[in-house]
Structure 1
Amino acid sequence: MAQRLAMEYVNATMQMTEFQLNQFLLTADTSYISHRVKVLGAGEQEIVLEEAGGEEVHLSFERRGGVYIGSLSCRVVNPHLINAVRKLFFTYKGTGTVNRIYKDLTMMYYYEAGSVRRISEVRPGGIKLIYQHKYSLAEMASVFKLQTVEREIAQIRQEINSLLDTRNRCQQEAVIREVDERLAEAAHRLFRLEA
């Protein structure tokens, strides 16, 4: 088995509540890892995880409402620090690219909300796709539902065209008023669906 040299987090993000952030800070200190918090302007914080040997990881957290959005882009070499950052990323369902760097290759993992969506092997000779997430039943149902909306939009447009044809052919004021009311209702439904 090849020995991992480092892990790299590229444009990784995660979110947590203030309670979760405080819980993380309570458990962040171990015999190998310590932390310090820098409070920045506008409710932002920077958490620095430091390994006993001196390697550091800087995590920026921006407060939006009652949630902290953390961002992370770094390369980590120390195994204890790798483990601490990995736990943080998985616990709080991180999104982004994680590169596991070995001597002759890099394994690229793309995560979305804590789930692996794609794995690629990167070698000097090129990139090879190892795994790609396929749609789950729930995701396929939501895609189908989106197509249902598209069909309903097409049906309303046909209805509007038919009403406009009727209005153009008709000479009676009462019929024109009724058609105008139905056109307004159909236009409102169309607007809601397209939004």
Structure 2
Amino acid sequence: MAQRVATEYVNASIQVTEAEMPILMSLCEAQQLRLQVFVLDNGNHEVVLQDEAGGEAIRLTFERIHGHYVCVLSCRVEQLKLTNVLRKLISAFKGDAVVNRIYQGFTMVYHYLEGKVIRIVEVKGDQHKTVFEHRDTIGRMEAQFRRQTVEEEIGILRRAVNELLDLRNQTSAAAEIADIDERLQHHSRLLFALEA
């Protein structure tokens, strides 16, 4: 199995409420990392995570915006525990990110949306190969439901056309026939559009 060289977080963003901030801190502490929290004068929070050996560290700045704390982060991480805590934070707090997991000779690019991986792309030089892409099952089911609604409309229009044709066969007045023909023409255009 390929050994990961480093992980790059590109424009990762996490948003937490004030009530969720202690949960975020406990999640970081559970990863056995050194944790320092600074509360700045303007209410912003700065969280410094460092591996146990005191080597690599990352600094997360949470800006207070409209009652939420927002952290936008771009960094390169080599230490596995730091990588794992960032992944867990993005997942737990429904963050968005592009994460480059760099291996010798290739890179795996993970696209996160609302904490879930929606796409994974393998990059080797100039070649890009999609390994995984999230399929919107609920969206497809809703589209199917809408298609059934269209089928119901087609059924209603066909019944209306049949009634108009019966009425036309029973009518002998030229003015009424012209009116029925105009309505039939309108209905046939609608049917054509719906069936397409």
SS in 2 for 1:14: strand
Distance 1:115 1:28, change over 3 A: closer
In 2: Cα distance, 1:140 partner to 1:110 partner: 24
- Count of residue pairs the alignment pairs up: 146
In 1: Cα distance, 2:31 partner to 2:103 partner: 27
- Is 1:84 aligned to 2:85, yes or no? yes
Match of 2:95 in 1: 94
Counterparts of residues 12-27 of structure 1 (less than 5 Å): 12-27=12-27
- Is 1:55 aligned to 2:56, yes or no? yes
Instruction: Give RMSD over aligned pairs.
Output: 2.6
Match of 2:6 in 1: 6
User: How far does residue 20 in structure 1 lie from its aligned partner after superposition?
Assistant: 1.5
Q: Does the 8 A contact of 2:31 with 2:85 survive in 1? A: no
- Mark the structure with the bigger radius of gyration: 2
Distance 1:113 1:27, change over 3 A: closer
Instruction: Render the CA deviation track for 1:132-161: whole Å, top value 9, x for unaligned.
Output: 33333247738x98xxxxxxxxxxxxxxxx
TM-score norm. by structure 1 comes to 0.65
Letter in 1 for 2:39: V
User: How far does residue 27 in structure 1 lie from its aligned partner after superposition?
Assistant: 4.0
Instruction: Render the CA deviation track for 1:94-118: whole Å, top value 9, x for unaligned.
Output: 1010111111110001111012222
User: Structure 1 residue runs of 4+, over 6 Å off?
Assistant: none
Match of 1:127 in 2: 128
TM-score norm. by structure 2 comes to 0.65
SS in 2 for 1:19: coil
Distance 1:132 1:35, change over 3 A: same
Structure 2 unmatched ranges of 5 or more: 147-196
Distance 1:31 1:100, change over 3 A: closer
Instruction: Render the CA deviation track for 1:65-123: whole Å, top value 9, x for unaligned.
Output: 33211222111111122222222121111101011111111000111101222211111
Q: Percent identity, aligned pairs only? A: 42
In 2: Cα distance, 1:45 partner to 1:136 partner: 38
Counterparts of residues 115-194 of structure 1 (less than 5 Å): 115-138=116-139, 141=142
Distance 1:117 1:42, change over 3 A: same
- Is 1:109 aligned to 2:110, yes or no? yes
Distance 1:36 1:67, change over 3 A: same
In 2: Cα distance, 1:78 partner to 1:138 partner: 38
Distance 1:5 1:113, change over 3 A: same
In 1: Cα distance, 2:27 partner to 2:136 partner: 36
Letter in 2 for 1:48: V
- Is 1:35 aligned to 2:31, yes or no? no
